[in-house]
Amino acid sequence: MSVRRRRRIESEGHEGPDERWMASYMDMITVLMCMFIVLFSMSTIDLKKFNALSESLATGFGQEQTEKVDVSAGVIVPAHLLDEDGEDSADIEVSAAQKELDDLSALRDRIRTALSEQGLADTATFTIDSRGLTISLVSAETFFATNSTTLSGIAVNILNTLGGVLASIPNEISIEGHADTRQSAAPFATNWELSAARATQVLRHLVEVCGISPGVIKSVGYGDARPVAKGTSAEALAQNRRVDVVVLSDADEGVRQLLPALQAKAPSR
Question: What domains lie within the chain, and their CATH numbers?
Answer: 24-83 (no CATH), 90-265 (3.30.1330.60)
pLDDT one-digit tens code per residue, 73-83: 444 555 555 55
Higher pLDDT, 86 or 150: 150
Q: How confident is the model at residue 180 (pLDDT cuts 50, 70, 90)?
A: confident
Residue 8 confidence (pLDDT) above 90: no
pLDDT one-digit tens code per residue, 116-162: 999 998 888 899 999 999 998 765 456 777 788 888 888 899 999 99
Residue 104: strand, helix, or coil? helix
Q: Looking at residue 255, what is its pLDDT?
A: 93
What lies within 8 Å, CB to CB, of 197 at 6+ separation is 149, 177, 188, 221
Q: How confident is the model at residue 109 (pLDDT cuts 50, 70, 90)?
A: very high
Mean pLDDT of 217-245: 90
Cβ-count burial of 244 within 10 angstroms (0-12 exposed, 13-18 middle, 19+ buried)? Answer: buried
Q: Looking at residue 69, what is its pLDDT?
A: 47
C-alpha span between 164 and 160 (Å, rounded): 6
C-alpha span between 214 and 13 (Å, rounded): 108
pLDDT one-digit tens code per residue, 19-74: 777 778 888 888 888 887 777 666 655 666 556 656 665 655 555 555 554 444 44
What lies within 8 Å, CB to CB, of 268 at 6+ separation is none
